[in-house]
Amino acid sequence: MFGLRLVLAYSAFAALAMAVNLLTQEGVARLWPYPGSLYVAILAGTLTGLYTKYELDRRYIFAAARRSARGEGRRFLLYSLNGVFTTLVFWGMELAFALTFEAYTMRYVGAVLGLAIGYWLKYRLDRRFVFAHDT
């Protein structure tokens, strides 16, 4: 997959993973109305968004075949580790917006901006370190 088609597919998958992330956050926030719910919601959304994005990237962006359970676990671990930095970017933006603007909706503006920046960085890291031998 090259050029504009790649950008459009990757963007669509990032948007889908963002939607999964944010819908999970909203669901958790509604079901967990306790102190610290923001952090529980962010973590749950991050996990569901991560797995969704991994499967879409593996199949459609990098056209990587499934490996043995051990090989797939290793690849998912590398994919996840690459996401640690980009997740910090996402969390930082969401928390910064939540604390700065003190408006519920602005939290999601920060989340979308953080996820967009994070996914751009993530593609570059994954192409180089996770799926380099598959493409």
What pLDDT score was predicted for residue 62? 94
What pLDDT score was predicted for residue 2? 63
pLDDT tens digits along 39-63: 999 999 989 998 999 999 999 999 9
pTM: 0.73
Nearest Cα to Cα of residue 126 among 39, 34, 65, 64: 64
What pLDDT score was predicted for residue 135? 53
pLDDT tens digits along 76-126: 999 999 888 888 988 899 999 999 998 889 999 999 899 888 878 888 999
The rounded Cα 118 to chain-centroid distance in angstroms is 7
